Amino acid sequence: MATIFDLAPARGTVRVDGLDIGIVGLGTKEILELASRFPAIAQIITGRLQLEELYRSAPGAIAALIAAGTGNHDQAAEEAASGLPFGSQMALLSAIVKLTMPLGYGPFVEQMGAILGVGASEPTPPESSPRPSSS
């Protein structure tokens, strides 16, 4: 019978600008650390992404995801990732996401929603103020 030690960390390479770049799938610790820094990542995990937050934090979040996904967890790596052309960033990010969520985004959100006890498919209704009585 296999054990946890038989599961190798997800690793791969992606070709970007003629270079083979080593990448890794991100684990829970890395994802949650990034989610604490970038609310858009937390919203993606729960399936409740708000576009305003995505626009605000996406550049930094994408650079941090790329840095972590290439095995680098420091500011210099995030700055290097931030300075890459958009096409290179997307090539790296999509390959890292595939290693991180091998079943895809949908099943990932469903699994996280079940674990966290949140429904990803239905938005939270806004709270309404009580109606005045007509007496």
Single-letter amino acid code for the residue at 102: P
Whole-number Å distance between alpha carbons of 2 and 4: 7
Whole-number Å distance between alpha carbons of 62 and 66: 6
Give the model's pLDDT for residue 56: 86
Report the predicted TM-score, pTM, of the whole model to 2 decimal places.
0.75
What token pair was written down for 39?
């609310």
**Kind and range of the H or E element at 20?**
strand 19-24
Task: Render 103-132 in DSSP notation, one character per residue.
Answer: T-HHHHHHHHHHHHT--SSSPPPPP-PPPP
Give the pLDDT confidence of 55-114 residue by residue, as tens digits.
888 899 999 999 999 999 899 999 999 999 999 999 999 999 999 988 887 787 777 777
